[in-house]
Amino acid sequence: MPRVTEIDDSRGDPILEELFAKERKANGDLLNPTKVMAHCPPILRAAKLLGASIAESGKLPKGLASLVSLRVAAINGCPF
């Protein structure tokens, strides 16, 4: 049971509408961290931008950031 309630409805918030639509298109549904960070839409947007910046920086080989996230989730016993 999550300690923080998850939000999966944008409730008319334009930031959440945009981010939720993008994530549902890319993943088929919302990821749990997105649902938790949706409590503060500006922080969610900043976190998404940070992740995109890392992925697009060219500092990591393509796909490595996703593999790192997957491995960290597995180490912590969390589904990803």
Domain hosting 23: range is 14-75
For the chain, the straight-line distance linking the first and the last C-alpha, in angstroms and rounded, comes to 16
Residue 2: predicted pLDDT: 63
Among 31, 41, 42, smallest CA distance to 2 is for 31
Number of domains the chain is built from: 1
What is the tens place of the pLDDT at every residue in 8-26?
999 999 999 999 999 999 9
What is the tens place of the pLDDT at every residue in 26-56?
989 999 889 999 999 999 999 999 988 887 8
Let me know if residue 7 belongs to a domain.
no
pTM of the predicted model as reported, rounded to 2 decimal places: 0.74
Ramachandran angles phi, psi of 40, nearest 5°? -135, 90
Let me know if residue 59 belongs to a domain.
yes
Let me know if residue 5 belongs to a domain.
no
